[in-house]
Amino acid sequence: MLESGDVIFYSRGVSEFCNAVEQVVTENSCFHVAIVSDTGTVIEATPDGVVELTFENSIEENKPGLVEIMRLKRCENITEKAILESAKWCRSKIGLPYNDLFAADLLNSAKQESYYCSQLITEAFRSFEMQWPTHTLNFADSEGKPIEFWVKYFQKRGYSQVPQGEEGSHPAQLRRSPVFSLKMRILPNLMNLNSLKDLKIFELSSHFVGGKYVDFPSDRDFQVIEPRSGKTLTTWHFATKDQVDITVKTAKSAQKEWAEFTWTKRSEVLKKTADLLQMHCNDIAYWECISNGKTIVEAKSDVLSCVDTFNFYSGIAQNLMGQHAPLDSSRYAYTRRLPIGVVAAIGAWNYPIQTCSWKTAPALACGNSVIYKPSPLSPVTALILAEILKSAGLPDGVFNVIQGDSETSQNLIMHDDVTKVSFTGSIPTGKKIMKSCAERSIKPVTLELGGKSSLIIFDDADMDSAVSCAMMANFYSQGQVCSNASKVLVHRSLLEEFSKKLVSLTKELKVGDPLKEDTKVGAHISADHRDKVEGYINGALAEGATKLCGGDRVTVEGLENGFYLSPCILTDITSKMKVYHEEIFGSVLLLIPFDTEEEAINIANDTNMGLAAGLVTRDLARSYRVSEKLNAGNVYVNTFNDVSPLIPFGGIGESGFGRENGTAALEHYTYLKSVFVNTGSCPNPF
């Protein structure tokens, strides 16, 4: 994050001295400046003298509301070597006193060589012959009257007059110098977990890097839209290639410390994270609802599932143990399961905090660092999880969040120091990511992609249970679920009764404000996606399908511009229709009759996506037999879309490979090292 020669500006101070420094320059909140040394520490001139601190300690001591890290623009006479020499020069001044008179001759009231904060910077770069913005010392207010603080300040040092108008420098004037370019802004300690719901979260910077909220300057931005109202909540920025590089280097450095943590210490952090998620469940669910549009009831359930995830991975230390194998009387071998390094995790918008937790918890348990890039459509709750992890004791830089688009993702994936990629999203994007992971430097990838699943209702099914399963398979999160079974295959003998009951219950579902507890159907993620789902419905009708209910836009009072669509049921579906083959990713249930078990299995397997499948039956033998024949990574019997952190989740075929959840996920975030040991002498075979 910091490089030698970077200059750090501190604004919005809280002490009386900071306020007094800010007042002497108009339209300013900058009160202090420091420089990064050749060893990465921070050198600053303070009232206690020239000191050397870590960056974290410097922030803690100065208590700024805003930190800006500036980079000196390189040119013919400002080279990397020259900047490094300036940084070394600053280190040589450690221990010198403070220039309490702000004198241009570098002498304090005791006639000793000394520096004040901005003077240390200008002197460090004096050899560059740069033209700094001119500044004359000012100790008067906007009306020209001497500020009382400064009058008393100089009186204590034996001076009856303040040195008004003399040559000098000020952090605010240096900040305006054209020789600097903004590298990043940091807003320390803005989130309060005890008042999350009232938090003005969009005033935070959109990135979380090195344990701090960071504002990366970028000319590529995006609007954060609230699905329930259609309102623009804020404008955030995508991370650039250079900013991705900063983040990866931060994560790589932090991972070394985290990997040295014992399993017990890692477990404590993950367990504390689970406790904090549970403690703040309602407030986190509120932001999940605001950001994503799903109902508050579902959002709470999602957060509680994250509690289970972190609890589970806090107790998997024994699964990270290696094996020991005696080979003969003087030889043995053992294996070690080691962290893979820096994980780039790219999340989906339909389950924002759950997707983030599924990737982050096992990766951290294994000793890795994580850079999480949420979808621009739901970018908020990953930042809250970052704050919770920090509060739970996770070292700074081990978990980072950057906002980005496909370009940002590509820069992240292609970075040489990223050693593992985990992606949840569409099949076309997954294929591009897989190609990128092999193109430059081979790195392992987990892909959790789309699905086109089926639910089979056999003739012996309990009718109420069958209808419940069909609704669970289609109507969670407005149908925006990768494992959804949009194809509901019903034995012809049950079709009439099943359809009647299903349509009746579907029509009763309340479409409305997702923040209200009695709402059953919330808002689609965006206007574009709602339009896409409508397009599938209209296309099917044009191809000969019949609509039994739903598929209509719904206007919610007070939220008239929200993205609402009623759940839809279609029948008269044929295998030639687009909706039969493609993932709709919306609440569009397709009723398809069948006559034989073999026919139902063939229809269910008539897809190149193998994420999920399900069946409803009272016949135990049939449940086992059919489950074995369904080409899917997840099979549900008398239920659907069930999930547990104990059980692996993932697909086959075009639905991707690798697994989330369970101990199986640990294999994707570690590598095995085999060690052969000979305790005797080594014979020469030649």
For the chain, what are the domain ranges?
7-187, 208-318+339-448, 454-654
With 60 as the cut, is the pLDDT of residue 291 above it? yes
With 60 as the cut, is the pLDDT of residue 370 above it? yes
User: For residues 43 and 41, what is the distance between their CA atoms, to the nearest angstrom?
Assistant: 7
H or E segment to which residue 590 belongs:
strand 588-594
* pLDDT tens digits for range 526-576: 999 999 999 999 999 999 999 999 999 999 999 999 999 999 999 999 999
With 90 as the cut, is the pLDDT of residue 235 above it? yes
With 90 as the cut, is the pLDDT of residue 440 above it? no
**Which tokens belong to 408?**
């940002």
Looking at residue 189, its pLDDT comes to 66
Summarize the confidence of residues 166-173 as an average pLDDT.
86
Q: What angle separates helix 406-414 from helix 241-260, to the nearest 10 degrees?
A: 50
Whether residue 669 contacts residue 464, with contact meaning beta carbons closer than 8 Å, is answered with: no
Q: Bridge partners of 446?
A: 422
For domain 454-654, the CATH class is alpha beta
Whether residue 484 contacts residue 609, with contact meaning beta carbons closer than 8 Å, is answered with: no
Q: How many CB atoms lie within 10 A of CB 198?
A: 9
Looking at residue 1, its pLDDT comes to 81
Per-residue CA distances from 578 to 379, 550, 575, 590 (Å): 31, 19, 8, 12
Looking at residue 142, its pLDDT comes to 78
**Measured on CA atoms in the order 418, 421, 425, 430, is the torsion positive or negative?**
positive
Question: What is the overall mean pLDDT for the chain?
Answer: 93
Q: How far is CA 229 from the centre of its chain?
A: 24
Looking at residue 197, its pLDDT comes to 74
User: For residues 456 and 625, what is the distance between their CA atoms, to the nearest angstrom?
Assistant: 13
Closest CA to 652 of 586, 604, 607, 600: 607
Tokens 């970075």 locate to 415
Grade residue 380 by pLDDT with cuts at 50, 70 and 90.
very high
What type of residue is 405?
Answer: D
Grade residue 33 by pLDDT with cuts at 50, 70 and 90.
very high
Looking at residue 131, its pLDDT comes to 73
**Which tokens belong to 208?**
């979380």
Give start and end residues of each alpha helix (H) in 27-67: 55-62
Q: Bridge partners of 612?
A: 634
Task: Using DSSP, state whether 236 is helix, strand or coil.
Answer: strand
Q: What is the DSSP string of 176-222?
A: T-TTEEEEEEEETT---GGG-TT--GGGS-SEEETTEEEE---S-EE
With 80 as the cut, is the pLDDT of residue 686 above it? yes
With 90 as the cut, is the pLDDT of residue 276 above it? yes
Looking at residue 613, its pLDDT comes to 98
H or E segment to which residue 597 belongs:
helix 597-604
Strands 588-594 and 568-571 come out as: parallel
**Which tokens belong to 392?**
């739970």
Looking at residue 25, its pLDDT comes to 52
Grade residue 167 by pLDDT with cuts at 50, 70 and 90.
confident
Closest CA to 499 of 559, 450, 581, 571: 571
With 60 as the cut, is the pLDDT of residue 26 above it? no
Whether residue 35 contacts residue 42, with contact meaning beta carbons closer than 8 Å, is answered with: yes
Q: How buried is residue 100: exposed, middle or buried, by Cβ count under 10 Å (0-12/13-18/19+)?
A: middle
With 80 as the cut, is the pLDDT of residue 614 above it? yes
User: For residues 94 and 52, what is the distance between their CA atoms, to the nearest angstrom?
Assistant: 7
With 60 as the cut, is the pLDDT of residue 506 above it? yes
Whether residue 511 contacts residue 227, with contact meaning beta carbons closer than 8 Å, is answered with: no
Q: Which fold has domain 7-187?
A: endopeptidase fold (from Nostoc punctiforme) (3.90.1720)
Give start and end residues of each alpha helix (H) in 509-559: 527-542
Q: What angle separates helix 16-23 from helix 148-156, to the nearest 10 degrees?
A: 110
Backbone φ/ψ region at 367: left (φ over 0), alpha (ψ -120 to 50), beta: left
The larger pLDDT score, comparing residue 527 to residue 150, is at: 527
User: For residues 397 and 241, what is the distance between their CA atoms, to the nearest angstrom?
Assistant: 18
Per-residue CA distances from 616 to 463, 488, 587, 607 (Å): 9, 11, 20, 20
With 70 as the cut, is the pLDDT of residue 18 above it? no
Grade residue 165 by pLDDT with cuts at 50, 70 and 90.
confident
CATH assignment of 208-318+339-448, among 3.40.50.300, 3.40.50.10190, 2.60.120.200, 3.40.605.10:
3.40.605.10
State the chain's maximal CA–CA distance in angstroms.
103
Residue 48: phi and psi, rounded to 5, are -90, 0
29-32-38-40 Cα dihedral, nearest 10 degrees: -70
Looking at residue 161, its pLDDT comes to 82
* pLDDT tens digits for range 178-217: 888 999 988 876 677 777 776 677 777 799 999 999 989 8
Whether residue 375 contacts residue 292, with contact meaning beta carbons closer than 8 Å, is answered with: no
With 90 as the cut, is the pLDDT of residue 144 above it? no
User: For residues 248 and 266, what is the distance between their CA atoms, to the nearest angstrom?
Assistant: 21
What type of residue is 463?
Answer: M
With 90 as the cut, is the pLDDT of residue 362 above it? yes
What is the C-alpha end-to-end distance of the chain, expressed in Å? 53
Within 13 Å and on the Cβ side, how many CA atoms surround 6? 20
Q: Bridge partners of 72?
A: 180
Looking at residue 591, its pLDDT comes to 98
Task: Using DSSP, state whether 506 is helix, strand or coil.
Answer: helix
Sheet architecture: strand order including 487-491: 546-549, 568-571, 588-594, 487-491, 454-457, 612-616, 634-637
Which residues are marked as active site?
Answer: 448, 482
Percentage of the chain exceeding pLDDT 70: 97
User: For residues 309 and 476, what is the distance between their CA atoms, to the nearest angstrom?
Assistant: 20
User: For residues 337 and 375, what is the distance between their CA atoms, to the nearest angstrom?
Assistant: 31
Looking at residue 217, its pLDDT comes to 87
User: For residues 401 and 347, what is the distance between their CA atoms, to the nearest angstrom?
Assistant: 11
Summarize the confidence of residues 118-146 as an average pLDDT.
83
Q: How far is CA 339 from the centre of its chain?
A: 20
Task: Using DSSP, state whether 576 is helix, strand or coil.
Answer: coil
**Measured on CA atoms in the order 576, 580, 585, 586, is the torsion positive or negative?**
positive
The larger pLDDT score, comparing residue 135 to residue 654, is at: 654
User: For residues 15 and 8, what is the distance between their CA atoms, to the nearest angstrom?
Assistant: 18
Looking at residue 160, its pLDDT comes to 81
Summarize the confidence of residues 151-170 as an average pLDDT.
85
Q: How far is CA 245 from the centre of its chain?
A: 16
**Measured on CA atoms in the order 252, 441, 661, 666, is the torsion positive or negative?**
negative
With 90 as the cut, is the pLDDT of residue 630 above it? yes
Looking at residue 166, its pLDDT comes to 86
